[in-house]
Structure 1
């Protein structure tokens, strides 16, 4: 019992409580125990929600031991998230949010904890079972149960920071499950909260949550989101660039420019492939295009200065290369976004080659970090995959495309956000075959580009876009082997209807990303034709599309 006239201390270490003596509460171990040679058993965890966000961001991580309030399965999922999942989620980018903030918050906020258990459980099964099999399995029901509990907890939350924080986790859950519309819905909800409370955004939200939402605001535009149905973040556009002092500053600045650029590009789509294709571009859009290019050029200049002053460490080299690739991709895309004939992209072939060179440098950097490149099954952020895919679908220089295909097979993660490497590798491979009249499997076995390949196809044969139009199915090959195919629609030049664009669809072979041992893209046959006349290409286009079932 506490002495008469004294207040019983409930916050002392566990050892002092057992001994019923006053604890000095020094951290991490009290002086009363250590000075007397006793083992201090530390402090009991505070109840959920007792820590402020500032405390969760303290230099010394607050990670209490798993207590009896967690089941064995929950404890395993939380530990698996902390040790395996969170370090992999950001790819080569900064992993602070996942390894520090989410891990910390999972011990103190029920909605975060339930969401993390669901994420950890879903991540573990990626690549092991088909999605519908997992949902019907005991582990699938376990993950879904925790996801539902997190949703229930969030409906009672009054702290806006918690809502925004957990909303990111919900986006992650839906992305891992491949539910594009649900992921976009959660993302839209978070963006709307930011927009409605933009005058009340706390410094913590500004520093740790807004950058994530800036990057998240991009992915919906690749999966059905439009400028009409998905809001942009208000008041986060840059009109002037200040010199960046740190890598984080540079990354945040580029993220803002890319988000603004992608939204601008989607505004321009209707002039490239829509019903008003060919009409004069409004002056305001031309001005925005020019402004974006100037800002992206300014970013490249600032980033070059930063690299000169602060040489990247071995751990951040790959991120440096990725940021430069992202800026160059955005610059090309903004400049060419109005061109319905895809010829503008040819003006940027040297820049496409520079992007591929940066990918090669990133690969070498990763090899220096580890002899064996270990890739996670999934990353929440977009990595090298969509950047290299852009080169593959828009650069019409065959050697550059083949090198990009090689690097995609090595660098890309199987799942990056909603981007699927098998899907994108399959489409890019078939697109190259159609536009250049090559057989990649034959090319892979020979190790040199075929003599009748077209190095640079003319506009009429170029494929403007592609769309996934149905589920996969097994199709028997000529030798009786069952091969998985995917139904795809290609947007091509309408040679039969007097110009314009039309959709043709068919089945393409699903190909696993694979690199070509010993392949050298410089082995170009001197007999290669750099271009052919429009009539030759149109004839070739119809033959190739017919052979592919399109």
Structure 2
């Protein structure tokens, strides 16, 4: 006689109940507004979720034990997305350089502050979704569970911050800035550049108000990494909107003291390169959209700035190379990678600035310099294997974009292939956007000269890129003002005005 089958004990856990009951793993009576189960026991009912994530598709094999030590109840969906943020987003954001902002500040605040926690969940959900779609999202899709979940987490973060506006909490400003930054990155992952800009300007207003209360250039009670991150975004958005930084406009061009100071460590190099990029990036954003007539009308001042920037970049490049070649003390792997990337950024800026006052096709005599820059990128990628999908550091995309201006089409295609082989985002810049824009520009140029050679890009891949670029432009009304769009030939100049 076979033994009777064991009946599985029924679970009381509700799949549709309030957040509090679900987090406590008990059955919820699902009363309207607030459930009786919570109110009858003196607990606060945390309401009902508007979005849930499908279990089979979104389950993660590992959830950090630290998530169970939070001071508030959390749902299974939140634990999953927080796990992704902790185990994937933070390592990606700090992959190229050590980043105390992510490795320490963001990690700590997301465990003790609910507003940051929900904003981190939002980023985790969108980061995972963006990776699955090869970093090619072009707007919010509320039919998608992850997007609905991210929106709900963003709403919870906003609600908490709104309730604390009148608080005298000394940490509130830092919390608000970190949440702003997480909103910016999330909107960029969604391809919502205009929304990201609004969040960026909100963070800059917080910094501006803080500065007014203290001495000039002093930002009190704020993590230094946060200030630098907002400065970097402010500078990079020169290419995506106003043409110059809103708040962090630099006046250090004439003295250039930061280039002449001794370089002893990687931090010294990074600081000097960043200060120079803060000058070079807005200059390129100003010059790339200019017509030949515009350049001629202001050539004296433009050329003067161009020569000064090139002088500073050449000096810094040589000093970085001298530090890189120094045998003792031996450089660690991270130091080698950091110095190599810093040098690559200088090389990219040098060629970009040298060619930025030429409106139209470049002479073939420039080809060797573009080949040299492409080779430098190929050498860097061959030597260093890290491939983060999101980083807030200056990386390889800007330099490869410069290469896509080469007079020789096959060199451009090699740069495009590299961009397509590593789908990722460097702060505001998306490798897919740059690759698709470069490919469309190349096709327009070839058609204009009746050169209909095979581009060497798979037709299906080219069509997917074209569709992604088209959808990105449609979902971003201000995209016609981007310096790269204005400088390209895919939209007539009259439509850019």
TM-score normalized by the length of structure 2: 0.67
Contact 1:376–1:413 (8 Å) recurs in 2: no
Q: Which of 1 and 2 has higher RCO (CA within 8 Å, sep 6+)? A: 2
The match for 2:358 is: 339
Mapped to 2, the partners of 1:124 and 1:249 lie a distance apart of 34
The match for 1:81 is: 85
Report the structure number with the largest CA radius of gyration: 1
Deviation readout 1:478-523 (Å, 9 max, x if unpaired): xxxxxxxxxx998559xxxxxxx95599xxxxxxxxxxxxxxxxxx
1:217 and 2:234 are equivalent in the alignment: yes
| Aligned counterpart in structure 1 of residue 279 of structure 2, from 260, 283, 308 | 260
Mapped to 1, the partners of 2:442 and 2:72 lie a distance apart of 57
Give 1:78 shift: 1.9
Give 1:115 shift: 1.0
The match for 1:247 is: 266
Q: How many pairs align?
A: 391
Mapped to 1, the partners of 2:444 and 2:79 lie a distance apart of 51
Runs of at least 5 residues in structure 2 that lack an aligned partner in the other structure: 1-65, 460-465, 474-484
1:168 and 2:175 are equivalent in the alignment: no
Considering only aligned residues, what root-mean-square deviation do their CA atoms show, in Å? 3.8
Contact 1:191–1:231 (8 Å) recurs in 2: yes
Contact 2:127–2:186 (8 Å) recurs in 1: no
Mapped to 2, the partners of 1:383 and 1:422 lie a distance apart of 14
Contact 1:268–1:338 (8 Å) recurs in 2: yes
Contact 1:122–1:176 (8 Å) recurs in 2: yes
Give 1:183 shift: 1.0
Give 1:168 shift: 1.6
Contact 1:379–1:413 (8 Å) recurs in 2: no
Mapped to 2, the partners of 1:217 and 1:346 lie a distance apart of 35
| Aligned counterpart in structure 1 of residue 307 of structure 2, from 264, 285, 290 | 290
Give 1:235 shift: 6.1
Mapped to 1, the partners of 2:195 and 2:445 lie a distance apart of 35
Mapped to 1, the partners of 2:444 and 2:146 lie a distance apart of 43
Runs of at least 5 residues in structure 1 that lack an aligned partner in the other structure: 1-61, 368-372, 446-465, 474-487, 494-500, 506-550
The change in CA–CA distance for 1:109 and 1:443 in structure 2 (over 3 A counts) is: closer
Deviation readout 1:305-335 (Å, 9 max, x if unpaired): 3223455433444443332221122122223
Larger strand proportion, structure 1 or 2? 1
The match for 1:471 is: 471
Deviation readout 1:80-138 (Å, 9 max, x if unpaired): 21112210124423343223321111112222112111111111222547666753344
Mapped to 1, the partners of 2:287 and 2:457 lie a distance apart of 37
Larger helix proportion, structure 1 or 2? 2
Contact 2:127–2:189 (8 Å) recurs in 1: yes
Mapped to 2, the partners of 1:492 and 1:442 lie a distance apart of 20
User: Map of 1:183-198 to 2, 5 A cutoff?
Assistant: 183-196=196-209, 197=211
The match for 1:395 is: 406
Mapped to 1, the partners of 2:471 and 2:247 lie a distance apart of 30
The match for 2:374 is: 356
User: Map of 1:312-391 to 2, 5 A cutoff?
Assistant: 312-343=331-362, 348-367=366-385, 375-391=387-403
